[in-house]
């Protein structure tokens, strides 16, 4: 009995220690960024955009290969500053390559700031510790767990549940304050068509002009937030001699022959030449950038829709004929469905394309969708789920071998309104994005770009690429593709279906 009590006291002490959290950081006065002096991207802005116009220029990055190549080229072309903000930055081949090129940019005087959400940092600390050693690179971690590893890290998810669930899901990449990338992609092989097995169908948008400044505002809001911690406050950094050796090795490795499918620029000149081609084909349009600022108190209740969700609601309310939703994780619950029911537009058509259980990389996320799937169908939403054998994989993913040997999973997040307006960014149409996460979204009022994305979604809705989910006359849910019909989740085994079913009984969809 004495040992049981002692164990209980030790556990309570451990839990109390986890619950204490980290004190917020005082970063000092916020310095106003001066306008960037002349640079390659500034010259491109002058060439491509009318200085009297408020329009920005946009280009879809529809394949992972293009997204990887353009990011690499922007790093090579940077003259003064690179600000990168990501939910995930993997320590894999593409993650290390881009990290090494950031080090090379810092060597020539570019100021690099990297802001990462803490939830996916564990296990990748060594890569970021190497980068942090460079005098021109600064790294901060948003909303970290007080315990950095082991059981304590997992216990913090229980003892500090409300705060830990407020994540920085924003994804932006800005060079010299003039050009930026926003969208759904994180940094890693599976986002850049470089993984041999699982690759994500995703979308980004490259933006040249005024809205790049909006992305900088997004970055600055999180960078100076008191819950963004310098890496050195969370991890022990290597000693200076070892750090310099590691930095040199990381940068040097990127100059060696690479096994990438993508043909990456090998010099500043080739990078600028590649980017000139991209800039010349950009579409000028009216646009708006919306982002969710970091919460002042991460432990406060998260019961109100955030800025990006409110912007999306406004677009839905003003839609005249149709709304096309492409969302990796789709959860519309009672409040959202009631909102659709209250729209003063009985002719509005809503179609949604999302992952099936067979293609979803996260079974719990699918379970939250499955919990509300019947309600969405009864609301009149047309639902389609991605097939793992979709022939469109070879159009979406440039690594065709991976389509044959592995699978494609949907990770893109876009909504098209009346085929005239495009809402695209890091925002999944689910409860986590509505209430909990920090998100970034672009609203682009361009029929040309909206039609491009709408036509791509139309293709995804074809029977060979997706199953249409319907309610049969007997009230059962069915999956249809041409003349074929299934009455349980297609192309998955018993245990995966059982796991999704059991999880769907739990009211946890807000946290998925």
Catalytic residues: 169, 171, 176, 411, 413, 418
Residue 291: C-alpha distances to residues 172, 182, 303, 308 (Å): 11, 11, 18, 6
What is the C-alpha to C-alpha distance for residues 328 and 322, in angstroms, rounded to an integer? Answer: 20
Residue 71: C-alpha distances to residues 35, 181, 264, 385, 491 (Å): 22, 8, 10, 30, 36
Q: Which two tokens stand for residue 295?
A: 């919460």
Query: Exposure string (b/e) for 227-263, b if CB count within 10 Å is 16 or more?
Result: bbbebeebbebbeeeebeebbeebbeebeeeeebbbe
**How many Cα atoms sit within 13 Å of 107 on the Cβ side?**
13
Ordered alpha helix ranges (H), 108-239: 125-132, 150-159, 161-164, 210-223
Q: Which of 96, 94, 93, 139 is nearest to 118 (CA)?
A: 139
344 in Cβ contact with 436 (< 8 Å) = no
* CA-based end-to-end distance of the chain: 40
Q: Which of 103, 98, 124, 87 is nearest to 231 (CA)?
A: 124
What is the C-alpha to C-alpha distance for residues 351 and 184, in angstroms, rounded to an integer? Answer: 20
Helices 307-318 and 334-341 meet at what angle, rounded to 10? 30
């Amino acid at each position: 009995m004495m040992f049981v009590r002692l164990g209980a006291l030790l556990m309570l002490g451990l839990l109390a220690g986890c619950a204490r959290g980290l004190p917020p950081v005082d970063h000092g006065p916020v310095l106003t960024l001066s306008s960037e002096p002349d640079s390659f991207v500034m010259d491109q802005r002058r060439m491509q955009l009318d200085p009297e116009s408020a329009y920005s220029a946009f280009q879809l990055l529809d394949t992972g290969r293009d997204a990887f190549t353009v990011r690499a080229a922007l790093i090579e072309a940077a003259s003064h500053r690179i600000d990168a903000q990501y939910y995930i930055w993997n320590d894999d081949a593409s993650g290390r390559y881009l990290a090494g090129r950031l080090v090379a940019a810092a060597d020539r005087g570019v100021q690099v700031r990297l802001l990462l959400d803490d939830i996916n940092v564990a296990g990748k600390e060594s890569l970021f510790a190497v980068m942090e050693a460079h005098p021109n690179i600064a790294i901060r971690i948003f909303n970290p767990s007080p315990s950095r590893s082991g059981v304590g890290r997992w216990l913090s998810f229980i003892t500090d549940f409300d705060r830990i669930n407020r994540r920085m899901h924003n994804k932006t990449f800005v060079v010299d304050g003039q050009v930026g990338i926003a969208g759904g992609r994180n940094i890693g092989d599976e986002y850049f068509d470089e993984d041999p097995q699982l690759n994500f169908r995703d979308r980004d948008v490259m933006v040249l002009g005024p809205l790049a400044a909006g992305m900088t505002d997004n970055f600055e809001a999180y960078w100076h937030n008191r819950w963004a911690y310098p890496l050195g406050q969370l991890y022990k950094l290597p000693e200076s001699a070892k750090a310099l050796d590691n930095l040199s090795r990381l940068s040097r490795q990127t100059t060696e022959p690479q096994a990438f499918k993508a043909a990456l620029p090998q010099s500043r000149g080739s990078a600028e030449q590649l980017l000139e081609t991209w800039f010349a084909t950009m579409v000028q349009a009216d646009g708006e950038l919306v982002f969710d600022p970091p919460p002042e108190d991460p432990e406060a209740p998260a019961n109100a829709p955030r800025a990006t969700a409110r912007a999306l609601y406004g677009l839905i309310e003003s839609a005249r004929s149709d709304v096309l939703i492409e969302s990796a994780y789709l959860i519309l619950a009672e409040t959202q469905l009631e909102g659709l029911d209250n729209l003063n537009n009985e002719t509005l058509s809503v179609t949604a394309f999302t992952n099936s259980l067979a293609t979803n990389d996260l079974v719990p996320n699918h379970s939250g969708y499955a919990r509300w799937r019947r309600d969405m169908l009864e609301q009149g939403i047309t639902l389609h789920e991605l097939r793992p054998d979709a022939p469109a994989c070879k159009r979406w993913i440039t690594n065709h071998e991976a389509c044959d040997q592995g699978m494609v999973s949907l990770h893109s997040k876009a909504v098209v309104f009346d085929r005239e307006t495009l809402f695209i960014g890091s925002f999944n149409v689910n409860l986590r994005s509505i209430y909990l996460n920090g998100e970034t979204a672009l609203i682009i009022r361009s029929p040309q770009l909206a039609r491009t994305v709408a036509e791509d979604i139309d293709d995804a809705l074809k029977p060979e690429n997706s199953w249409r989910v319907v309610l049969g006359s007997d009230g059962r849910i069915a999956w249809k593709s041409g003349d074929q019909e299934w009455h349980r989740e297609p192309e998955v085994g018993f245990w995966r279906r059982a796991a999704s079913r059991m999880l769907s009984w739990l009211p946890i969809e807000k946290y998925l």
